[in-house]
Amino acid sequence: MKKTTARLADGRELIYYDSRDDAARDTVDRRPAAPATTAAEIRYDPLRDEWILIASHRQGRTHNPPTAECPLCPSREGHSEITADDYEVVVFENRFPSMAGRDGDDEAPALIADLRTPGGSWRSAPSAGRCEVVCFSPDHEASFADLSPEQVALILEAWTDRTAELSRRPDVEQVFLFEDRGKEMGMSLVHPHGQIYAYPFVTPRTERVLAAVGAYRERTGGNLFDDILAAESADGGRLVVEAEHWTAFVPHAAHWPYEVHLYPRRRVPDLTALDDDARAEFPAVYLDVLRRFDRLFGEDTGPVPYISSWSQAPLSAPGEFALHLELFTVRRTPAKLKHLAGSELLMDVFVNEISPESAAARLRELG
């Protein structure tokens, strides 16, 4: 893999990832310079004991532009963030970030420490962390499932590199990678892409998971992630794909109509710790799972909307956490969506209309 770093006209970083070592990239952005501006901060919710991102500048972000004005297509006409004629994989700082970075800021370590300390009702802090966009392909009409194993392998290398780089920043505590596909999932750009959120705190969901893992260790002496994976393999009723180095299954208490978790069989905290065998096998396994999703409801319904995300260990607690990918869709029939309502949105109690066992059986049929 070859990595070429450039700067956009407004100062944001852009990185090309190429499979060939001899790839040459023009790193000059010839658009007029207009410094990016953000209005972001972090506020504390004492009732939930969690931090909220306030980013009012995102009200004006790009939303479903015409194909000819796509900001993620290769272009030299000024409308695109990527000024090259072509690319393989590109990562760049989001123009409308939910978090504005503090890279190189001497106060960043103190800010991170402060975010870990419980405080009063009206606490707030300057924004920190970083938001990036990952372009998976120059093909505007493609989806991740259309990519080749070689393309997915390059994306995995880019994800791993960004995890390593962002984890070294003084204002980052946890690196989260995800893809939203479909307007039903909130996607505002059709071009195949994902995002990276490098948070300056441990996310609320991760805090709950870590608490459950710690309590399980105290109670049983075992690792909760390891034992869940072993139990799913032994039961078999919710398995979707079981390969040599990866296992994909529908969780016993799935929240969503069709939901799959994909784990490396050897527990590691994040993408940087995957061994070569797991890396080599991942593209085929992941593409298999995605293509099963796309066959769930037939071609007439169009692409299946989904969210796919990597859960990685926070930097302050890498020990017992297990890297894994979560994939789900809100579509439950060709014509019906799973809408979150009062119980899910306000009480965090999900109601799933499809049993995990029948969802797994359906996905196995589609292999």
Residues 182 and 230 in one domain: no
> Of 157, 184, 202, which residue sits at a domain end?
202
Q: Residue 96: pLDDT band by 50, 70, 90 thresholds?
A: confident
Domain coverage including residue 335:
206-365
- Report angle CA 211, 165, 130 to the nearest 5 degrees: 70
Residues 61 and 89 in one domain: yes
Residues 177 and 309 in one domain: no
How far apart CA 226 and CA 217 sit, in angstroms, is 11
Residues 53/201, Cβ–Cβ less than 8 Å: no
* Pairing mode of beta strands 130-135, 193-199: antiparallel
Q: Is 193 a catalytic residue?
A: yes
Selecting among 193, 245, 261, 324, the annotated active-site residue is 193
Q: Kindly tell me the burial class for residue 82, based on how many C-beta atoms sit within 10 Å of its own C-beta (0-12, 13-18, 19 or more).
A: buried
> Of 202, 224, 244, which residue sits at a domain end?
202
Kindly report the CATH number assigned to the domain that includes residue 316.
3.30.428.10
Residues 190 and 256 in one domain: no
pTM of the model: 0.93
pLDDT of residue 229: 98
How far apart CA 35 and CA 8 sit, in angstroms, is 10
CB-based contacts of 165, cutoff 8 Å, min separation 6: none
Residues 186 and 276 in one domain: no
Query: What are residue 242's DSSP bridge partners?
Result: 247
pLDDT of residue 80: 85
> Of 153, 171, 202, which residue sits at a domain end?
202
> What's the alpha-carbon Rg for the chain, to the nearest Å?
21
Residues 303 and 349 in one domain: yes
Residues 175 and 28 in one domain: yes
Residues 211 and 228 in one domain: yes
Residues 69 and 138 in one domain: yes
Q: Based on the structure, what is the number of domains in the chain? A: 2
Residue 3 has pLDDT above 90, yes or no: yes
Residues 196 and 251 in one domain: no
Reported as a single tens digit per residue, the pLDDT across 20-56 is 998 888 888 887 777 666 778 888 888 888 888 988 8
Residues 20 and 101 in one domain: yes
Q: For the residues of 202-266, what is the DSSP string, one character each?
A: --HHHHHHHHHHHHHHHHHSS-HHHHHHHHHHHH-TTEEEE-SSEEEE--TT-SSSEEEEEEESS
Placement of tokens 């999932």 in the chain: 185
